[in-house]
Each structure stands twice: as C-alpha cells, then as structure tokens.
Amino acid sequence: MKFFIDTANLSEIREAYDLGVLDGVTTNPSLMAKEGITGDENVKAHYKAICDIVDDKVSAEVIATDYEGMIREGKELAKIDDKIVVKIPMIRDGVKALKYFKSEGIRTNCTLIFSSGQALLAAKAGASYVSPFIGRLDDISYDGLELIGQIVHIYGNYGYETEVLAASIRHTMHLIKCAEIGADVATCPLKVITGLLKHPLTDSGLAQFLADHAKAAGK
Ligand code: G3P
C-alpha cells in the first residue's frame, strides 16, 4: 500500500519524506487555507514547493465547480509540475472533467467519494484515483472501512485501473485496516504515519537491551 501525507504543511511533508516511506501528497482547499496560502500565484508557488520535496503524485484541487472552469484550472495546475495530480470533486461536471483529463493524459484524483456508486462512476470516467472519506462517514455513523472494501471489490471485478485512495483517515487502525482490505493508497496526517512506530514492548525491550549491554561492559 502506498502512503500519501494529507497536508499542505511543508515541514510535515519533509519529515514524512525523510522517514523514507512517502509516496505522495494530497491537499485540499481547507488544508491550503490552514497554511494561509491564498491567491493564484501563491497557491501555484506552494504546490511547486511541495513537488520539489517529494518524488511524485501531489494532488492539487480545483476550486471551480463548472466544467469549463475545472478544465481551465486543472490545466494550469498540471503545468506547475509533472508530479501534479488534478483533484476533481465528485459532481456531474467533475465526472465530465475526469473524462477530459484522461484523454489528455493528465492524472486525476476524484475527491469527496461517499458511496460505491460514485466510485464506480469515477472509474468509468477514467479517474486515476478515487478518494473515499472514511472518517467523515464514521462521523455520521456509516462504516467508512466497509465502503473501502466495497470499492476494492467492485474494481477487482472489472480490472479498473483507478486506484482506491483511502482518505479522511483519523487514526492508525484506519490505516492498518485499509492495508488489510487492500486499498491501493492511504492518505493520512503525519501523526497517523508516525503512530505506526509506537509499541510499549519495543520501548521496554530496547531499554532492557541497552541496560544489559551497559552492565556487561561494566558501565
Ligand atoms: O483527504 C481528505 C481529507 O483531508 C479529509 O480529512 O479529516 O478533514 O475528514 P478530514
């Protein structure tokens, strides 16, 4: 399973990249706003700065919600760097835009997926990735992980090339369950990735090893 980091914060992206396990980055307008990035030129410069840190696959979301606007913005975003994946919302004009970008060889990530029907539509339109939001479904008492399983199953039935990018991941168990289910990618905050490191038996085991070594060495 590929690991993407879900942030527009450059130092968090650098930290995840330095750990050696990062395959890409996802952003959205809320995450860009959180970093205080506004204005077309600043937004483009920030995406470029992200692309300069990682090896590939930086999702950059369009703001337009009409077909022409999404095409115009998506083309501008794609020009920033070959690593850009244009993020398109799951709406009627978005589905049409996915088809257009597929024909142009521009990679897309269809976002705000909350049902397997939406995921099926995005795959048929040629999305490179679909982003089902696990945490936001869990928030309203639907089973986000069950949706990941349904989409993996449907795509497997027909050999769709669209990758299942599990998003809105809130904790390490979401991430681990996504790996069990067979999601292609999981995008999560830095703390979820580093959370995988933690186990009390690792900490106590290491402390014991070091203490035994020091004792044997007469320290
Ligand atoms: O990738 C989508 C993600 O940013 C949404 O996460 O935690 O805002 O539901 P969250």
Known catalytic residue at 75: no
Q: What is the pTM of this model?
A: 0.96
What CATH number should be reported for the domain holding residue 53?
A: 3.20.20.70
pLDDT at 219 over 80: no
Centre of ligand 1 to C-alpha 163, Å, is 18
Summarised one tens digit per residue, pLDDT across range 79-102 is 999 999 999 999 999 999 999 999
pLDDT (0 to 100) of residue 132: 98
Q: Using an 8 Å Cβ cutoff, are 168 and 136 in contact? A: yes
Among residues 1, 54, 61, 3, the alpha carbon closest in space to that of 30 is found at 61
Centre of ligand 1 to C-alpha 118, Å, is 17
Centre of ligand 1 to C-alpha 110, Å, is 13
Alpha helices in 35-164, H assignment, sequence order:
40-53, 67-80, 92-104, 116-124, 134-139, 144-158
Summarised one tens digit per residue, pLDDT across range 115-149 is 999 999 999 999 999 999 999 999 999 999 999 99
Q: Tell whether ligand 1 has an atom less than 6 A from the beta carbon of residue 136.
A: yes
Domain hosting 42: range is 2-216
End-to-end C-alpha distance for the chain, whole angstroms? 44
Residue having the nearest C-alpha atom to atom 7 of ligand 1: 168
Task: Quote the number of domains for the chain.
Answer: 1
Q: Tell whether ligand 1 has an atom less than 6 A from the beta carbon of residue 167.
A: yes
Mean of all residue pLDDT scores within the chain: 97
